[in-house]
Structure 1
Amino acid sequence: KPAGQTVVKQTCSSTCWLEGNCYYRWYRDRYTEHTRSWNRVYLGCSYGATVWFISTSSTDQDRYRCVVRNRAAPQQKCKLDWAVIYTPGRVCALKGSSVDLSCSYKHPEGLTVTKSLWFIESQWKFGAEPEDVRESDQYEGRVQYSRTLNSCRMTITDLRESDAHTYSFRFYTDHPDGRYSGRPGVTLSVTDLKVTVSDTDGGVKKLTCSSTCTLPNNPTYIWYRNGQPVSDQNRNELELRDRTVDAGSYSCAVKGYEELGSPAVCK
């Protein structure tokens, strides 16, 4: 922050009458020497009771006020808050692949982010700082972070079933109390592929390439018979009508991840 400026933390001690259905309007009263009067300025609103303001006053004569509103939402979105937004909030990925967990974040003006990390939500113990995922032996050499002014990302490679957790992003600023965790975070599910066989009413064998969670982006499926691709098939279901011609060993994979295909089943 520029020289001569300080960051002031303010907490509104009032409580909401209806929890979660209120917001706070903030004002600053500044004393003007030549008029010997107080001037009130509206600073904005927040959904949280604690905010940070930039102060350029050389004295301690600034006074801050808050007003709690709980009946109607503000006309414009509040801009004095901390936030972490995960996009998407749930991610499904193939075992053995790589995945990006992404988010955007914001904090009050006047603060500078000095440190950030991702952590596993269920492993955060009350009263302690969360453990950085990168410092866990389980993730050694498999995790990378990237962060810009407004976005954050964690990449996990060589996914394992044990990586299925809810992950949250936490950042720290240059104010001693200026830290924030975006909770709840983004939930990662890890799946492999499996071929299941069922009979239809017409006596046709139907093979289904299934996963334990829904893979993103409407993936294209590839079917193999005896290790060779089956032509003109891109859905997760395959129907077999001719017992002689169609006999063989079948497996499936997702296009782009052919090396992570399912175990084969015989028909």
Structure 2
Amino acid sequence: QLRCLLFLLIIFEIDWGVTYPRKHICASKGSTVEIVCSYSHPSRLNDADTAVEETFWFTIFSDNEPVDLRADSEYSGRVQYHCGENDCTLRITDLRESDSAEYKFRFITNQPGGKYTGEPGVTLSVTDVLKVPSVSVNPPGEIMEGGSVTLTCNSNSAANYTWYKKNLPLPNKEPQLVFNSIQSSDSGQYYCAAENELGRRTSDHKFIDVECESKLMKIQSLAVFIIVSTAGLIRKLLGQANKPSMVCAFKVNTRNLCYRKWTRLSE
């Protein structure tokens, strides 16, 4: 009896099998995918011909038993099997990101204990088609030296990110590029690349201009000089030393706003 058992185990090990030509498949959301396998079994066991009684694909178990995809409500109306004598193709339409899983094929024969599952199965990854990413800056507006600034690479479905400054890659691989204390040397052209299993897309360039305090002080001094010089010229030309005049001076910021101020010109 032990000899017969060992003989059966050897047959099972050699002749029972499932082969998947592709172990990993990437597909886009909304598309159709086909997962193919071939299978084998002993032609005869226990003085009886082996007949395949059931074939199916599954991803999950219920009560320790694999659940046929055709009985899974998540795949209702989207699954088809095309099976031959020693091969079977699973076809899934209108793919969803939730369809990402490991798919296994199982066949059941008329032999006692004659059930076999092909493991490991085929890993399916479903992702959305990448759109062109965009770079946003927070906070918006002028960027002052020493402030905190965050650049965000906005992408609909990316697994990997790469940041570039002046066409040179940066070590940061996250969707956000954070400057805790930005410096004037950080000024320049930035862009990001988003990538997943289906491709790679690159954003437009975003120019970052970091203003430093010393530069602003120079601009303010120049503005005051222009105002004083202009006021003196008006006084000499019009002889209105004791009359109020309206002087428009630039409020120093990147929005180029102007404010009106009344001042009395001295002789």
Length-normalised TM-score, structure 2: 0.49
Structure with more of its chain in helix, by fraction: 2
Indicate the structure (1 or 2) with the bigger Cα radius of gyration.
2
Length-normalised TM-score, structure 1: 0.49
